[in-house]
Amino acid sequence: MKTSRRFVLSALLVASAAALIPGSAAAAPPAPTDPEFGRYLLTQVDDMHRGKSSHALMSMHVKTSRWERSMTMEAWSSGKEYSLIRILEPKKERGTATLKSNKDLYTFLSKTGRTIKISGASMGGSWMGSHFTNDDLVKESRLDKDFDIIVKDGPGIRGEPTWALILIPKPKAVVVWGQVDVMIRKSDLLPIGQLFYDEDRNPVRKMEFFDYQQVAGRSVPMRMRMSPLDDERKGEYTEMTYSKLEFDIGLDPSFFSVSQLKAL
């Protein structure tokens, strides 16, 4: 009888967790008139490449006005607390890695063997010379927690009707943006674009999502492009493409340690 009860309880817990995973078949979104609709959509955006845990292989191509470079990377995540990103190529940077463990962020430099703890003030800094920030990669701040939300009809983008989520940072939120606009496709509630503003509410960069694919029962964009909007950097961008993405792989928190950062 005890075994049977444990089995039922486990099944209920699994079912409850599945209902909270963005993009899963079990997830039932609130109605657009529901005050929680915007928060639900932002949780999707924050966690669409994560699930309960994840493992990914991806490439990053950076184009600036002066140079271009490409990298391949491997990444792991567990919940909202842990992330680990390791560079595979180019060879001279292989092993360089970034770790988020709860509130702590570290970078391991394979060339020197040094581990550097990154302060909160550096979260808005460029990750490896790209147009993505440290925060973009490890998701320290969260759209669904750090911003107040206004939901309204958005513009048509690539022939898709959208919802526009206008995000204003909460007074005590530690974020670098004065406003973020998130565009969500009405057809499947997936993000199609984001616009980021500075503290004076001037648009400074945009992110676009492409190549939506089914992965483990959920639809996710497999390619993202970040572009600065200032005239001095016109034509620059960083594009990140997933070549492999798997969810719910059962990672232990001990995997996300400074010793593991050096050992990979």
Q: What is the pLDDT of residue 64?
A: 96
Cα atoms found within 13 Å of the Cα of residue 176, Cβ hemisphere only? 16
Q: What is the pLDDT of residue 27?
A: 55
Examine residue 64 and state whether it is found in any structural domain, yes or no.
Answer: yes
What tokens were used for 254?
């001990």
Q: What is the pLDDT of residue 120?
A: 63
The helix/strand/coil state of 160 is strand
Closest CA to 182 of 172, 171, 170, 197: 197
- CB-CB contact of 78 with 256 (8 Å): yes
Tally the domains of the chain. Answer: 1
Examine residue 11 and state whether it is found in any structural domain, yes or no.
Answer: no
Domain encompassing residue 144: 39-263
Examine residue 27 and state whether it is found in any structural domain, yes or no.
Answer: no
What tokens were used for 250?
């059962």
The helix/strand/coil state of 65 is coil
Which are the contacts of 8, defined by CB distance < 8 A and separation ≥ 6? none
Q: What is the pLDDT of residue 18?
A: 35
- CB-CB contact of 205 with 181 (8 Å): no
Q: Are strands 53-63 and 191-197 parallel, antiparallel or unpaired?
A: unpaired
Which are the contacts of 131, defined by CB distance < 8 A and separation ≥ 6? 62, 205, 226, 227, 228, 236, 237, 238
Examine residue 136 and state whether it is found in any structural domain, yes or no.
Answer: yes
Examine residue 9 and state whether it is found in any structural domain, yes or no.
Answer: no
Examine residue 124 and state whether it is found in any structural domain, yes or no.
Answer: yes
Angle at 258 between CA 256 and CA 264, to 5 degrees: 75
Examine residue 158 and state whether it is found in any structural domain, yes or no.
Answer: yes
Examine residue 33 and state whether it is found in any structural domain, yes or no.
Answer: no
pLDDT tens per residue across all 264 residues of the chain: 434 443 333 333 333 333 333 444 445 789 999 999 999 999 888 888 887 899 999 999 999 999 999 999 999 999 888 999 999 999 999 999 999 888 888 999 988 889 998 876 567 788 889 999 888 887 767 888 899 999 999 999 999 999 999 999 999 888 889 999 999 999 999 999 999 999 999 999 999 999 999 998 889 999 999 999 999 999 999 999 999 999 988 888 889 988 887 777
Query: Running DSSP on this structure, what letter comes out for residue 51?
Result: S
What CATH number does residue 121 fall under?
2.50.20.10
